[in-house]
A and B are shown apart, each in its own frame.
Chain A
Amino acid sequence: EDQVTQSPEALRLQEGESSSLNCSYTVSGLRGLFWYRQDPGKGPEFLFTLYSAGEEKEKERLKATLTKKESFLHITAPKPEDSATYLCAVLNQAGTALIFGKGTTLSVSS
């Protein structure tokens, strides 16, 4: 069964304190892994797509990496505006829909 597990569920950081979020997945033949950010009362906002092991993508303070079993979202020197829920998803085996993890809620305090 296609499955996505994210850890930790919640993460509290001080401004400037770098850390990583984990996303482990089980799907036959990965066709794409997606990272989204969701703010309260809003829909998920697309961040990155990774398609093959070894691939890396960066955007401002965020960097996403992919191995054959998991992905990491590294946050370097976070700011309070980075506070949000970060969602990881993989394309299902049929390639027709995203399977989401339960998310990591990040809180960054100044």
Chain B
Amino acid sequence: DTAVSQTPKYLVTQMGNDKSIKCEQNLGHDTMYWYKQDSKKFLKIMFSYNNKELIINETVPNRFSPKSPDKAHLNLHINSLELGDSAVYFCASSQDFDQPQHFGDGTRLSIL
């Protein structure tokens, strides 16, 4: 069983479109995250979320919004996609903020 799964694995779309990436974890963790990995392979936190609070990295444009229908899911919605949004997006989860995070295999987003 995959612990943290993301769909889709690849997403190719046009500038200006709105898209969503889904993430599910079956580890029973309380905390989930979204990271962006750029072309230089640098991983940067976008959001941290548990059932108590949402922590937003201040550099993330408000076109990006996380939505959590329940504790096992944290989806990422992106409005008005731009060329600079092209990257690999990783979802992760952990039992708590200071515990090891388990990552999905990423969603490669390409903007045409």
A residues at B contact (CB < 8 Å): 31-32, 34, 36, 41-46, 49, 85, 87, 89, 91-92, 94-100, 102-103
Contact = CB atoms under 8 A, between A and B. Distances in A.
Given A96-B48, A97-B57, A87 B43 contact: yes
A9 B104 CA distance: 24
B81 interface: no
A41 B44 CA distance: 17
Interface stretch (B12-20, B69-77, B95-103): B95-103
A87 B90 CA distance: 15
Interface of B: 4, 33, 40-45, 48, 55, 57, 90, 92, 97-106
A102 B42 CA distance: 5
Given A44-B90, A44-B103, 8 more contacts: A31-B98, A43-B103, A87-B43, A91-B97, A96-B48, A97-B55, A98-B101, A100-B44
Counting from the closest, the 10 A-B pairs by CB-CB distance are A43-B103, A97-B45, A100-B43, A46-B100, A96-B55, A96-B48, A97-B48, A43-B105, A44-B103, A32-B98
A95 B105 contact: no
21 contacts: A34-B100, A36-B103, A41-B106, A42-B105, A42-B106, A43-B106, A44-B90, A46-B100, A46-B101, A46-B102, A49-B100, A85-B41, A89-B43, A91-B97, A91-B98, A94-B55, A95-B98, A97-B33, A98-B45, A98-B101, A102-B40
Nearest to A36: B103
B40 A96 contact: no
B23 to A, nearest CB: 11
